[in-house]
Structure 1
Amino acid sequence: MLKNIFQKLENPKRPLLGPNVKALQFWGLLLPKNVLKKYFYILMHILVTIFTATEYIDVWFVKSDMSLLLNNLKITMLATMSVIKVTTFLCWQKYWISIIEYVTKADLNQRMTSDKKKLELLSRFTKYCRKITYLYWSLMYTTVIIVMVQPIFKYVSSETYRLNVKNGTDTYLQVVSSWVPWDKNNVVGYLAASVYQSYAAIYGGGWITSFDTNSMVIMVFFRAELELLRIDSTNIFGSESKQDEHDIAMKRLKDCHRRHVELVKFARLFDSCLSPIMLLYMFVCSVMLCVTAYQITIETNPMQRFLTTEYLVFGVAQLFIYCWHSNDVLFASDNLMRGPYESIWWTKSVKYRKDLYLLVAQFNKTVVFSAGPFTMLTVATFINILKGAYSYYTLLSQSQMK
C-alpha cells in the first residue's frame, strides 16, 4: 500500500523533486493557475495566519502561569516560522519556481549520461532524498498527532485532572494554546476551539514539511552537482591510455565552466531566499529547545515527559538537517578544485593548462548557505546553537529556583 502511495508521488519529468513539488502544490505554496483554487489556498493561508496571531493574544491571558506560558511560547514561535516561510515563498514565488526549474533541468541533463559512475551517484542521491523527505514527513506528523491527542490522553489517563475539570478548579487542556472570542471552558466552546486548533496544526505541519523537504532536497542537489562536476572535470582530457581530441576536450572544459557558473548563480539565488528565514530559525530554535528542555525537567508525568521529548527531537532535527546538508555542500565545493588537477593535465601543452587554470579559478568560488549576514549554516554553527540553548535553559532553571 505504501509503495503504491509513494509511486503516485513520483513524477518522471521531475525525477529528483517529484514528491517535493507535489507537496508544495498540495499545501498551496505553489499556487495553481486556476483562479478559484488559487484564492481558496490564499484563504487557507490567511486563516492559519490569523490563528497564529491569536496565539500571541493568548500569551497575555496565560502570562501568570509559567507552564502554560512556556507551552504557548514554543508552539507559537514554531507557528510564526511557518507563517514567515509561506509568506516569503509566496512573495518570492517566481524565484523559487526558477530554482526548481533549474534543478529539474540540470538533473535531467545529467541523467542522460551513459557513465555508470555518474548514474550510480545520481541513483544514490535520489534514494537519499526520498528517505529524508518521507522520514521528515513522518516525524512532523508524529509531532502533529501528539499535539492533537495530548489533551485527550491527559483527560483519559489522569483521574485527578478529570475531577478538577468537572468541579471547575482546572481548565481543559487545549490542542494549541490560542485565544477565541467565546468561552473555551464549556464543552461546546472547547470542542469548537479544538477543531480550529487542529486544523491549524495540520495545515501548519503541511507548510513546514513541504517547505523544509523541498529546501533540503535542493541542498542535496547542489552537493550532487558539485560531485558530478568534479567527475567531469577529471575526465576533460580523457584517460592517460586514451586521450581525447582537442575539440572534445575544449567542449568538456567549456561545459564544466558553464555548469559551474549556472550553479553558483542559482545557489546564490537559493541562499538569498533561504538566508533570512534561517537567521530567524536559529533564534526560534534556540528558544524552543531551551523551553522544551526545561519542560522535560519539571514534568512529573512520564508520558507527558515522553511527548515533550519527542517535540524536542523534532526541534533539534529541523535545524540539524539544514546545517548538515549545507555543511555537505561546503565540503563538496572545497573539494571541487581537485577535479581539474586529477585530470591528465601534465600531458598537455601550456595552452591547455592556461584554459584549465581559468576553470580552476571558477571552481574556487565557494558554495555555501548562510543564516543572514552573520554566519554560515554548518555543523559547527549547529553545535554553537545547542550551546546557546543550553545556556538559556540553565538561566531559566536558576531563575525558577530562586
Structure 2
Amino acid sequence: MQERRDFGEFLSPDDLRLLHLRRRSIRRVVSAYLLSGVFIAIVYTATPISAEGLPYILALPYDATQPLAFAATWLYCAYIVFIKCIATMAADSFNISLMVQLRNQLDLLSRNLRSLSDSVSHTKSSSFETHSIQNIHSSEDLSHDIHYRLRKSVLHHQAIIRNFELLEQCLGGMLLGQCLSVGVCFCFQLFQTAKRSNGVQEVGKSSSYLVFELSVLFVYCWYGDDLISESEKVAFSAYDAVTSLQECPTSTKRSLLLLMLRAQRALRITAGGFFSLSRESFISVLNVSYSFFTVLRNFRDE
C-alpha cells in the first residue's frame, strides 16, 4: 500500500512490467536464501555434539538418556534452531525486499532522466527537417513536456529519499547490533573451533553456524552496495540531462541542477550511522573479527 501510494503516480506501464520481472528475480533469491537456512538448520540439528546425542550441550535437571526424555529434549533443541534460523532469515528477506524496492525506484529514476536527455537530442536532430514555424511550436511543446517530466522526476526522487530515511530509521539500530553480534560470534567461533574441536562433527557444526552468521550479514552488505551504486547513477544521469538542456528555461535547468546536487550524496543504509553497509564493510568486519581471534589465540598460547 505504501509503495502504491508513494510511487504509483511516477510509474508508467513499461516501468510496471520491468518491476514485475525484477520482483520475480528477487523472489528466487529470497527463496534460495530461506532454503539455505532450512538446510543449515537441518545439518545443525542432525549433528550431535553432547554425550546424550543432542545438537548442543545443555545443563539438564534430568537424565536425557531415557528415550522419552531424549525425544522431548531433541525436539526442544530443534525448535530453537529452526526458530533462530527461519525467523531471522525471514525478517532479513523482508528487509532486503524493501532495499531492492528502493534500488529499483532509483534505477527507474535514472532511466527517466536518460530518456529525457534522449528525447531532447532526438528533437534537436529532427528539427532541421521541418519549417521554422513548426520549429517554434515544437520547441514550446518540448519545453512544457520537459518541465512536466522533470517535475515528476524531482517528486519521484523526493519520495525515494523519504522512504529511504524511514527505512534507515527502522533498520539502523538493528543492523548495528547484528554487525556487532556477527563479528563477536565469528571471532569466538573460530577460537572455539581452533582450540576445542575434537572431530569432524564439531568442525562441521561450527562451520554451518559460521556460514549462517556470515550469510545474514552478507546479504545486507550485498544489496546495500547495490543501493549505493544505483544512487550514484542518478547523479550521472542528471548530469547527462543537464548537458542536453542548455536551451531550456532557467527554472528548468535550476531544478535539474538541484536534483543532481542532492543525488551526489549517495543513499546508504548504515549500521546505526557508524558505517555504511557495503561489500567493503563486510570485508572490514571479517578482518576486525579475525584480528581479535588472533589476539585471543596468542593470549591463550602464552
Aligned residue among 331, 352, 355 for 2:252: 352
Evaluate the alpha carbon distance shift between residue 123 and residue 310 of structure 1 in structure 2; reply closer, same or farther with a 3 A threshold.
Answer: same
1:91 corresponds to:
none
User: Is 1:310 paired with 2:190?
Assistant: no
User: Is 1:150 paired with 2:50?
Assistant: no
SS in 1 for 2:108: helix
User: Is 1:367 paired with 2:267?
Assistant: yes
SS in 2 for 1:242: helix
Shift of 1:247: 2.9
After TM superposition, the runs of 4+ consecutive aligned structure 1 residues lying more than 4 A away are 104-112, 176-183
Evaluate the alpha carbon distance shift between residue 351 and residue 111 of structure 1 in structure 2; reply closer, same or farther with a 3 A threshold.
Answer: closer
Aligned residue among 239, 242, 265 for 2:162: 265
Evaluate the alpha carbon distance shift between residue 201 and residue 110 of structure 1 in structure 2; reply closer, same or farther with a 3 A threshold.
Answer: farther
User: Is 1:292 paired with 2:172?
Assistant: no
Aligned residue among 124, 129, 133 for 2:30: 133
The alignment of Structure 1 onto Structure 2 pairs a total of residues equal to 282
2:77 corresponds to:
197
Aligned residue among 214, 219, 241 for 2:94: 214
2:180 corresponds to:
283
Instruction: Report if aligned partners of 1:132, 1:213 keep a CA contact under 8 Å in 2.
Output: no
More helix as a share of residues? 2
Shift of 1:369: 0.7
What is the TM-score normalised by the length of structure 1?
0.63
1:242 corresponds to:
123
**% identical equivalent positions:** 20
How far apart, in 1, do the equivalents of 2:75 and 2:222 lie? 37
SS in 2 for 1:171: coil
1:342 corresponds to:
240
Evaluate the alpha carbon distance shift between residue 312 and residue 327 of structure 1 in structure 2; reply closer, same or farther with a 3 A threshold.
Answer: same
Shift of 1:391: 1.6
Instruction: Report if aligned partners of 1:253, 1:359 keep a CA contact under 8 Å in 2.
Output: no
Aligned residue among 151, 155, 176 for 1:254: 151
Deviations 1:100-124, CA, capped at 9 Å, x for gaps: x334556766764236xx845x356
Query: Where do 5+ consecutive residues of structure 1 fail to align?
Result: 1-100, 155-169
Instruction: Report if aligned partners of 1:333, 1:367 keep a CA contact under 8 Å in 2.
Output: yes
How far apart, in 2, do the equivalents of 1:203 and 1:132 lie? 21
Letter in 2 for 1:209: M
Evaluate the alpha carbon distance shift between residue 251 and residue 178 of structure 1 in structure 2; reply closer, same or farther with a 3 A threshold.
Answer: farther
What root-mean-square deviation, in Å, do the aligned CA atoms of Structure 1 and Structure 2 show? Answer: 2.7
Evaluate the alpha carbon distance shift between residue 190 and residue 267 of structure 1 in structure 2; reply closer, same or farther with a 3 A threshold.
Answer: same
Instruction: Report if aligned partners of 2:47, 2:201 keep a CA contact under 8 Å in 1.
Output: no
What is the TM-score normalised by the length of structure 2?
0.82
Query: Where do 5+ consecutive residues of structure 2 fail to align?
Result: 125-140
Structure having the higher Rg? 2
